[in-house]
Amino acid sequence: MRTTILGYPRIGAHRELKFAVEDYWAGRSDAAALTRTARELRRAVWTELRDAGLDTIPSNTFSLYDHMLDTSVLVDAVPDRYRHLTGLDRYFAMARGVPDVPALEMTKWFDTNYHYIVPEIGPGTRFALAEGARAKPIAEYQEARGLGVETRPVLVGPLTYLLLAKAAPDAPAGFRPLDLLDGLVEVYAELLERLAGAGAAWVQLDEPAFVADRTDAETAALARVYRRLAALPSRPRILVASYFGTIGADALRALGTAPVEAVALDFVAGPRNVDVLGSIGGLPRTTVVAGMVDGRNVWRTDVARVKAVLPALLGLSDKVEVSTSCSLLHVPLDLDAETALPADVRGRLAFARQKVAEVVALGRTLDLDAPAPARPRPDPRVRARLDVLDDARRGDRAVRFAAQRARLGLPDLATTTIGSFPQTAALRRARADHKAGRLDDAAYTRAMKDEIARVVRLQEDIGLDVLVHGEPERNDMVQYFAEQLDGYAATEHGWVQSYGTRCVRPPILYGDVSRPRPMTVEWTTYAQSLTNRPVKGMLTGPVTMLAWSFVRDDQPLADTARQVALALRDEIGDLEAAGIGVVQVDEPALRELLPPRRAEHADYLAWAVGAFRLATSGVADATQIHTHMCYAEFGEIIGAIGDLDADVTSVEAARSAMELVGDLRAAGYANGIGPGVYDIHSPRVPSAEEIERNLRAALRAVGPERLWVNPDCGLKTRAYPETEAALRNMVAAARAVRAAP
Ligand code: GLN
Ligand code: ZN
């Protein structure tokens, strides 16, 4: 069987891309140096993939920042505010903004942790194909060819591009980017003709948008677009790639009749793709590029699963090729770079390089050299406890409310923060020195406690009601806990691009999760010992722990979430026993893991909510549970937020606080609400009057005893001067409203 992959990591083995781009931004290097590094990174990937023995190698998977942004530049979907700039200045201004010109919006690429730059399309957008070196897919195809590597340029498909775009702010109501589809398709037509002219035999068009629910009109548009592109007199053969789920039957049929020469289907995230293929009677004239090797996760491929699917496929299509389920952008580059992973865990892993080798081996022999890796040994203690705690929930809300009011003695419009305080250079250095052994445990603990004491004093001085310890000891809200839980491993070099030059190293959840010892109690109780005001303990919720990790795939996510929840439940119990009366369990990723299809939402939300409740329901009525989410557009999860049954929910309030609170109340949410009263993503200090207005608006939808006053997220990325000023204004605003409601 022939072999290929849908995409590859582009940051380099040592994150060369990150450092080259950041050097360029800082003026430490020039465009020529950046171009040289980029060229070298592309060369390394192409030659590596060729030497690995893949039959077809993708190109145009490289990007200086983001492939959606590249596409916007390629088709000249450049909003007017950037047009006075040129070249790299324009490109990076669209990504990050420049003084006076804000950046384009950024958002998550489907349910991954990769973020793309959202195209902004208005009725005035006139698509046109970029010329010369800016026609990046052509330029990179030629560059690879110059190195003797024949490639298949990868493009974001025109439907997915427009479906992920947003209407420009000045577009009339009702305008949809998809309205401009026909114009965009003509640009793609020209691009395909030029790629053919340059010698490209194949092109890949990514249309993952069709694994989500789509309207009939959208599916009809897919049919029309690919019929048009397939009818071009001179073009490369077309591979349409769908991934991250199960493609719609109508969409698949449309591609088959267009006809395009090949369709890529994801048999990892969308095992039901086999049934869809069967339901339309197969694709007798089309090659199926079978995504058998998981591009989203770090596990070695289970050959038994491949052998169960491939024979069925052979009966349903003209030809089958073996591939990854999606681009390998989402996994670290090379397992061989890791030196400290436990041997049994390591034996189960494959990173991008190892996955390419798997694809090649599967193509040659329909087999892998080594047997399927053993499953992790179950931990009977974890399993037994889970069986007992089946449907955990807390007592009556009104009773809890009264008990907490009596215990905490808080004023109306209680003020608090979301957890972290600014992470200074000195703090980061202390953590790094401790990790490297340059700072011993005692000195490290002293440094952290000094910081906690400072942050507690500051909060008392500002006059906040519920204090936090400030999270100085946390590198990252998931990794901090993963490092302390059994069943989790950290990598040394497992970097994955999150957005632009930002890379993350997700921990690997490989086995049954349990908590060998308390994780936060020492820091939290130390903070509480310094003040008479309540200190809020701070934990990361089960769904977020999964969403930002690589997670075992040998049991349902729901089961894994319950194990994490159980560990958190123990931690909350220990905090409570140590006298902590308020605990916040952050779930900023709750919405992220929503499956692409609506029919699957209820199942997901049931286990996600169940895990949160398992974690938080072990406490007394008088112990107050908070949660926090980093988004204001609740949409499909608004009911689930109430089901979490936290006593207080704080959320980002990008729109007005009033609207947000109103929406939540309308959906039946009856507990405390802390709409973020100012945006922490910017250094701007809001005035007390402005915050006061927000609070008064929110009070129209919720009583003062249930309204909380807080910023919209943690403060770790901010500096002290603006943080202190903003919090003082926030407290002044709360006091003003209390005094004259
Ligand atoms: N408690 C965390 C903090 O304040 C929450 C972070 C988040 O919401 N992403 O940093
Ligand atoms: Zn947040």
Per residue in 317-342, pLDDT (tens digit) is 989 999 999 999 999 999 999 999 99
* Shortest-distance atom of ligand 1 to CA 628: 8
pLDDT per position as a tens digit, 616-652: 999 999 999 999 998 777 888 999 999 999 999 999 8
Task: Band the pLDDT of 608: cuts 50, 70, 90.
Answer: very high
Shared domain for 683 and 545, answered yes or no, is: yes
Least distant ligand from the CA of 480: 1
pLDDT in tens, 664-677: 999 999 999 999 99
Give yes or no for residue 372 having a pLDDT over 70: no
Residue 127 forms part of a structural domain: no
483 marked as part of a ligand binding site: no
Other C-beta atoms closer than 10 Å to the C-beta of 84 total: 10
On whether residue 263 sits in a domain, the answer given is: yes
Say if 128 falls within a structural domain.
no
Identify whether residues 338 and 414 lie together within a single domain. no
Mean of pLDDT values over 182-205:
98
Q: Are residues 156 and 270 in the same domain?
A: yes
- What atom of ligand 1 comes closest to residue 419's alpha carbon? 4
Average per-residue pLDDT for the chain:
95
Q: How far is the CA of 420 from the centre of ligand 2 (A)?
A: 10
Strands 550-551 and 508-514: parallel
- Residues 406, 299, single domain; the answer is no
Q: Are residues 356 and 225 in the same domain?
A: yes
**Which residue range(s) make up the domain with 472?**
397-739
Residue 527 included in any domain = yes
Report which of residues 657 and 401 the model is more confident about.
401
The answer, yes or no, to whether residue 204 has pLDDT greater than 80, is: yes
Distance (angstroms) between ligand 1 centre and the Cα of 407 equals: 26
Which tokens go with 54?
A: 């893949």
Residues 726 and 680 grouped into a single domain: yes
- Residue 336: phi and psi, rounded to 5, are -65, -20
**Residue to mutate (ligand 1; options 628, 629, 681; most atoms within 8 A of CB):** 628
Could you tell me if residue 66 is inside a domain?
A: no
Residue 172 and residue 226 in one domain: yes
- Say yes or no: CB of residue 630 within 6 Å of ligand 1: yes
Q: Give the per-residue pLDDT at 327.
A: 98
Residue nearest to atom 9 of ligand 1 (CA): 588
300 and 154 housed in the same domain: yes
Is 85 inside any structural domain?
no
Whether 147 and 28 share a structural domain: yes
pLDDT value at 243 more than 80: yes
* pLDDT for res 683: 85
Q: What confidence tens digit (pLDDT) does each residue in 515-540 have? A: 999 999 999 999 999 999 999 999 99
* Structure tokens that stand for 673 in this block: 């609400």
Residues 316 and 228 in one domain: yes
Q: Is residue 668 part of a domain?
A: yes
pLDDT at 655 (0 to 100): 60
Measured in Å, residue 417 CA sits from the centre of ligand 1 at 10
Q: 16 a known binding residue?
A: yes
Q: Give the Å distance between the CA of 461 and the centre of ligand 2.
A: 24
Beta pairing partners, 546: none
Count of domains forming the chain? 2
Count helices and strands (H / E) in the chain. 26, 23
Residue 113 lies in a domain: no
- State whether the beta carbon of 122 lies less than 6 angstroms from ligand 1: no
Whether 326 has a binding-site annotation, put simply, is no
Query: CA-to-CA distance for 737 and 741, rounded, in angstroms?
Result: 5
* Per-residue pLDDT at 367: 79
Tell me the two tokens of residue 328: 């390998």
Over residues 419-447, the pLDDT tens digits come to 999 999 999 999 999 999 999 999 999 99
159, 181 contact by CB (below 8 A)? yes
Task: Let me know whether 494 and 634 are in one domain.
Answer: yes
681 classed as catalytic: yes
Q: Same structural domain for residues 150 and 284?
A: yes
pTM, entire model = 0.95
> In this predicted structure, what is the pLDDT of residue 371?
66
Residue having the nearest C-alpha atom to atom 1 of ligand 1: 419
Ligand 1 atom nearest the C-alpha of 716 is: 10
Q: Which domain CATH number covers 353?
A: 3.20.20.210
Which residue, by CA, sits nearest to atom 5 of ligand 1? 714
Tokens found for residue 521: 């109690």
Mean pLDDT of 101-108: 91
Q: Which of 115, 434, 626, 681 is catalytic?
A: 681
Q: What is the tens place of the pLDDT at every residue in 143-155?
A: 999 999 999 999 9
